[in-house]
Amino acid sequence: MTELARVAGLLFNRPLLLMPETAIAIASNLADRFGVDPMQPPAEASAFRGRPVTGTLDDGSKANLYRMQDGVAIIPVMGELVNRGSWIGASSGLTSYEGLAEQLRKASADPNVRGILLDVDSPGGEAAGAMETGAIVRQTAAQKPVVAYVSGLAASAGYAISAGASHIVTAPSANLGSIGVVRLHVDRSEAIARAGLKPTLITAGAYKGDHSSFTPLEPDARARIQAGVDDLYDLFVSHVAASRKLPEKAVRATEAGLFMGQRAVDAGLADRVGDFDDAMAYFDDSTPKNVILSGANMTEQTTANAAAELAAATSSAASQARAAERARTQAILNAPEATGRADLANYLAFETDMAPEAASALLAKAPAVAPAAAAASEQAAARPRLAVPVPDVNPDADAAAGAEAASGWDKIYTDLNRQAAASNRAFVIPG
């Protein structure tokens, strides 16, 4: 197969996500057997920005993967887009989905890359592979911010790729959209007849000759081709709606039109109007430069930061717990019900985790000790905790009251232990 026939096969009788005028221009050139000046490739995107980054491809070869500026990988999406192509970047005015996908994978895995900027100027291209590449852009954007900067045109397949980005910035004069599908059929039957030729198409399968250019397009064949175009259009609309978070109805309402600058923003096809520097500024807002490290340094720094944050959180939690425990203890000891019931109040405060309200309820049920006995009891309870000498109270002072208090406490301990056991409380008051 000649190169001319191969290129013609890529253009005719297959769906394209391409601006109609671009498709017509290419078709016209093919009709004249490429009797035009050779196609001049457009200038590489952002050739004066950043530095080239060389990487190793899966086959072991070296290639300039993208340019780097301030930790941002700049990847051009230029010219017509084709599905298969074992090259990186734009070549002879073409960008391949395969090459673009490889660049995205490498940039996503590169620890020195904090974000990816797609520099877009494309009228679209092949339908095959376009939605899949747009999905790769969206998956990459879930890991690192991806900005599509449309400097001139993001049409059809060019927009399908841009739509997957986290953020789209359009130049004021750039055009976005053309969310539609076009398929070309060339009827060459009259030209063939004038040339004195009469081709015979021999097929197996009723639809095998639907796309033949040797005969006029029959209505039923056209209907089948249209059904395939409609299916691809549905897929395109669904991809844009999901990527841009737009209702499918709103995407269809664009009617495959182009929207320039602010009109693209108003239609939901872009996020803002700006220039290249505005697009780069997005990364400063979303990914601070000082957190970008590489290799072992990134692992060590991440681990150190995590350890520091954990230590701070643990210290804060411990401080809060101590403060809460002090507040609980003081609430029990200072409760009105604790007056004359120092032993029980100290036990509930220091030997249990009972809430102040519950402790006050228990204290209220215990009889208060007479003042003299209460003072002795409070001093005795304080000795082991204060660890300082406390004067003894004269045992002869109000001995009768002390004996009565001791007898009363025995009864209270017994009653409280019985209540605690009945309620399955996790403590027992020593009798």
Catalytic sites, residue numbers: 156, 208
DSSP string, 162-224: HHTSSEEEE-TT-EEE--S-EE-----HHHHHHTT-------SSTTTTTT-SSSPPPHHHHHH
- Among 345, 337, 354, smallest CA distance to 425 is for 354
Phi-psi region of 11 (alpha: psi -120 to 50; beta: other; left: phi over 0): alpha
Which pairs from 64-70 meet CB under 8 Å and 24+ separation? 64/88, 64/89, 65/102, 65/103, 65/106, 65/107, 66/103, 66/106, 66/107, 68/112, 68/113, 69/280, 70/280, 70/283, 70/289
Determine the distance from the C-alpha atom of residue 75 to the mean position of all C-alpha atoms in its chain, rounded to a whole number.
20
Distance CA 323, CA 195 (A): 100
In whole angstroms, how large is the CA radius of gyration of the chain? Answer: 41
Q: How many CA atoms lie within 13 A of 79 on its CB side?
A: 19
- Among 304, 100, 264, smallest CA distance to 168 is for 264
Q: For residue 220, give Cα distances in angstroms to 188, 226, 289, 337.
A: 19, 10, 60, 96
- Among 97, 135, 132, 125, smallest CA distance to 15 is for 125
Determine the distance from the C-alpha atom of residue 417 to the mean position of all C-alpha atoms in its chain, rounded to a whole number.
58
Coil, helix or strand for 79?
A: strand
